[in-house]
């Protein structure tokens, strides 16, 4: 049964998942700010848990870890559908802006808080904040949630 779905602005790319995210995070880094205009709030899933239909284009850039980060987006309208970090293999990161209904998703963890714009406020949902990328903590949270899916 489809639990969440979304897609690009022009409708040529769609995605579905039967799962809730393993983790919802907020990234305040400069790269995400440039790509998303303010912050990136995204959802983590195991890569096989997100099914995508339609053609995608890929853009590769160094991620916060220094390892490659792969962005997959609609070649027609440019909407980012998901990303994959080589530092966290087997995980897809779907931005909440790509969902048809993003309202169920509140970030529990935020990273790069030293770069956070001073007018962005937490509504009380953030449970952990890290000045840097918090990679070890994100991996730990993902693994705990993945183990619970078992």
C-alpha distances in Å from residue 32, one per residue of 55, 80, 83, 108, 148: 23, 12, 12, 17, 29
DSSP secondary structure letters along 71-112: EEE-TTT--EEEEEEGGGTTEEEEEGGGBS--TT---SEEE-
Q: Which domains does the chain have, with CATH numbers?
A: 4-149 (3.90.1590.10)
The C-alpha atoms of residue 21 and residue 6 are separated, in whole angstroms, by: 14
Model confidence pLDDT, tens digit, residues 93-122: 999 999 999 999 988 888 777 777 788 777
Q: Encode pLDDT of 50-89 as tens digits.
A: 999 999 999 999 887 788 999 999 999 999 999 999 988 8
């Amino acid at each position: 049964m489809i639990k969440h779905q979304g897609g690009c602005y022009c409708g040529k790319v769609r995605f579905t998942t039967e799962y809730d995210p393993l983790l919802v995070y907020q990234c305040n880094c400069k790269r995400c700010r440039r790509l998303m205009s303010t912050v990136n709030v995204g959802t983590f899933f195991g890569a096989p848990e997100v099914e995508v239909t339609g053609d995608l284009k890929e853009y590769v850039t160094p991620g916060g870890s220094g390892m490659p980060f792969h962005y997959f987006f609609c070649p027609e309208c440019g909407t980012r559908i998901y990303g994959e970090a080589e530092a966290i293999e087997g995980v897809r990161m779907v931005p909440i802006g790509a969902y048809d209904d993003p309202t169920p998703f509140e970030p529990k963890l935020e990273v790069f808080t030293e770069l956070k714009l001073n007018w962005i406020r937490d509504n009380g949902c953030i449970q952990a904040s890290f000045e840097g990328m918090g990679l070890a903590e994100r991996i730990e949270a993902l693994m705990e949630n993945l183990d619970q899916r078992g």
